[in-house]
Amino acid sequence: MCRESASGLARALTEASAKAGLVELRLDCLQPLELAKVIPEIPELARYAELPLIITLRAADQGGHNKLDRSERISCWKSIAEACVNPDSEADLLFDLELDLLTDEGLRPIWDKLGWKRIISSYHDFTNGSPDLRAIYDRLAASGAGIIKIAVSIADAKDLSPIFELLEVAEQQDRLLIAIGMGGAGLATRVLAPARGGFCSFASLNDAESTAPGQLTVETLRSVYRFESLNRETKVAGLIGSPVLHSLSPVMHNAAFGKVGLNAIYLPFEVSDVIGFFNSIIKPGIAGSGLPVLGFSVTIPHKTAVMQLLDWIEPVAKSIGAVNTVVVREGNLHGYNTDVTGFIEPLKQRIPDLRGIRAAVIGGGGAARSVLWALGIEDVESVVFARDTEKAAVLAREFNVEVVKLQGADFTGFDVVINTSPLGTIGAQQSQTVALSHQLQGVRLAYDLVYTPKETVFIREASQAGCTVIGGIEMLVSQAMAQFKLWTGIQAPAQVFHEAAWSVLNAS
């Protein structure tokens, strides 16, 4: 909990205690005058928390919010020790300290007063470097503190394995360890670490009160990731790509796992080095020495690169030249492409017989490749419209289709117009569209593969032109259901996927 003022702290602690298993009070967030007010009240505040309360006064170079120098920090900790003088009478208090203070022999009487078993010896690294975590762990363990905390920035999910290995070391040594990978790429540690021996994870009451990069809210940990039900046997699936944190896939798949009662979790893995990720996370998981891997979704930019890492690839995925689903089967990695099924099924629900219709496919990237392949199987006459016709010419040759410049395009005579480009996606491109209503007059159906926002400019323009419309959420759900069945052998209800996705889109 990070508040600048002492006002309302007791109420906030009561609120936090209703949602969490323990509460952290970040004293370094308080303004100096407010800090002086709060320190004498710590024992009383602990009673409001009704849970173990961690008292933290983080140094500025370790992520602290104030500018207290070393002597000021020491003075504050002396006051904290005086306020909490009897370690046994306030057994629900823990104290988070950096190693530079704990190893100062002159300060040892202060820590003796607090009680060493209640001290967390902590280390934070925000540099995205590659620190020697085992050496850091050993130094922290030697301090005499009852709990060790290591939090380091993770830029690529391939670097998660040292954190999970450290949890194994601590468990073997019967030491209490908090191990966190900060940043979006470290999200898996926040979800999985306690299930693998970690002392706790950290979450915020809301997004505004996050105290570290990549920190989730308590509600997200509990409702999306089913945090409290996870254990060592929990199978791990996830999304490999970059960027992935915006994806609705974790919400959908985790809702489905919960609905069918499977002990499995789906996580977003921010990955730039896909080969490194397979070597450090997936292969050890298959061998039984790492996270127990169920399978993965694969997205941009790895759908083609991942193919070289697989033991077997289905003919459809080979033909398209892209894999979006990896399944662990009898110790081998199998590759599939569910984008084809995901795309074509919603279209055929509207137009059951696609033979002979004309389709304008907008875009020249990987999504267009899957769409053209699916349309070709259905004997649809396709034309590619692209901003970069030279790039799209590769597709034109491969699928024997015409390429037309997108700018100023006329879609007269087309039954279906399909946007496979990212134009209209939430963010910098949200106000853009591949076509306006006057260009879409007479078109039977418009299909946008973009699913955030829930109504793109293209969908709005197509509706104004009188087109039947299909939003990207339908393809997303369809391909996700196919992935889920490949991993589990279970056909999860479509309603579960739809409701989970719309719960997020309607809240945004």
Tokens representing residue 118 in the block: 């209640």
Residue 272 domain-assigned?
Answer: yes
pLDDT at 303: 92
Backbone angles phi, psi at 289, to 5 degrees: -105, 10
Check residue 91 and give its pLDDT: 53
Rg (CA), the chain: 27
Dihedral sign of CA atoms 77, 83, 88, 90 in order: negative
Q: How far is CA 455 from the centre of its chain?
A: 23
What CATH number should be reported for the domain holding residue 262?
Answer: 3.40.50.10860
Residue 437's pLDDT is what? 96
Q: Which of 93, 103, 7 is nearest to 47 (CA)?
A: 93
pLDDT digits (tens, 9 = 90+) for 221-238: 999 999 999 999 999 999
Terminal Cα distance for the chain, rounded:
24
Given 70, 86, 114, the domain boundary residue is 114
CATH of the domain at 176: 3.20.20.70
Same domain for 394 and 304?
A: no
- pLDDT of residue 433 exceeding 80, the answer is yes
Residue showing tokens 């901003």 = 387
> Per-residue pLDDT for 129 more than 90?
no
Q: State which residues form the domain around 289.
A: 235-337+489-507
Each residue's pLDDT tens digit, 150-171:
999 999 999 999 999 999 999 9
Q: Is a pLDDT exceeding 70 seen at residue 307?
A: yes
Domain final residue pick, 232, 262, 294: 232
What separation in angstroms does the CA of 108 have from each of 101, 102, 103, 145, 148?
9, 7, 8, 12, 17
Within this chain, do residues 354 and 460 fall inside the same structural domain, yes or no? Answer: yes
pLDDT for res 10: 84
Tens-digit pLDDT profile for residues 381-393: 999 999 999 989 9
Residues 347 and 324 in one domain: no
Whole-number pLDDT of residue 55: 95
What tens digit of pLDDT does each residue of 102-112 get? Answer: 999 999 999 99
Indicate whether 366 and 464 sit together in one domain: yes
Q: How many residues does the chain have?
A: 508
Residue 215 contacts residue 204 (beta carbons within 8 Å): yes
Residue 346 lies in a domain: yes
Distance of CA 265 to the CA centre of its chain: 12
Q: Is 329 within the bounds of a domain? A: yes
DSSP-assigned letter for residue 255:
H
pLDDT at 227 (0 to 100)? 93
- The verdict on 451 and 354 lying in the same domain is yes
Residue 458 in any domain: the answer is yes
Evaluate whether residue 65 is within a structural domain: yes
Q: Measuring CA to CA, which residue among 184, 220, 215, 185 is closest to residue 201?
A: 215
- Give tens-digit pLDDT for 187-210: 999 999 999 999 999 998 888 878
- Residue 275 CB-density burial (10 A; 0-12 exposed, 13-18 middle, 19+ buried): middle
All residues at 6 or more sequence positions from 102 whose CB lies less than 8 Å from its CB, including other chains: 111, 119, 121, 143, 144, 145
Contact call for residues 451 and 473 (beta carbons, < 8 A): yes
Least confident of 7-21, 92-106, 314-328, 422-436: 7-21
Between 214 and 266, whose confidence is greater? 266
User: Tell me, what CATH number does 400's domain have?
Assistant: 3.40.50.720
Strands of 332-336's sheet in order across: 264-270, 235-241, 293-298, 325-329, 332-336, 312-313
- Could you give the residue numbers annotated as active site? 303
The residue that leads in pLDDT, 13 or 470, is 470
The pLDDT assigned to 20 comes to: 85
Using 50, 70 and 90 to split pLDDT, how confident is the model at 86?
low
Verify that 345 and 458 share a domain, yes or no. Answer: yes
Answer yes or no: do 452 and 371 share one domain.
yes
Average pLDDT, the chain: 93
| Structural domain total, the chain | 4
Query: Nearest Cα to 37, choosing from 78, 16, 67, 7?
Result: 7
- Identify the three-state secondary structure at position 292: coil
pLDDT at residue 92, as a whole number:
86
Q: In whole angstroms, what is the distance from residue 145 CA to residue 121 CA?
A: 6
**pTM of this structure:** 0.91
The reply to whether 12 falls in a domain is: yes
Please tell me the predicted confidence (pLDDT) of residue 407: 93
Question: What confidence score (pLDDT) does residue 266 get?
Answer: 98
Confidence check: pLDDT of 89 > 70: no
Same domain as 135, residue 59: no
CB 480 within 8 A of CB 497: yes
Looking at residues 290-319, what average pLDDT do you find? 95
Q: Which of 391, 435, 385, 443 is nearest to 412 (CA)?
A: 443
461 and 443 co-located in one domain: yes
Do 148 and 256 fall into the same domain?
no
Q: Based on the fold, state whether residues 1 and 103 are members of the same structural domain.
A: yes
Q: Please name which of 50, 57, 61, 63 lies closest in space to residue 22, comparing C-alpha atoms.
A: 50
- Shared-domain flag, residues 344 and 275: no
Q: Please state, as a whole number, how many other Cβ atoms lie within 10 Å of the Cβ of residue 6.
A: 18
d(CA 362, CA 387) in angstroms, rounded, equals 9
User: Is 409 part of a structural domain of the chain?
Assistant: yes
Within a 10 A sphere around the Cβ of 240, how many other Cβ atoms?
24
To the nearest whole percent, how much of the chain has pLDDT over 90? 78
Q: Which among 182, 203, 232 is the end of a domain?
A: 232
Q: How far is CA 365 from CA 213, 276, 328, 421, 488, in A?
A: 32, 25, 28, 7, 30
pLDDT at 368 over 80: yes
476 inside domain: no
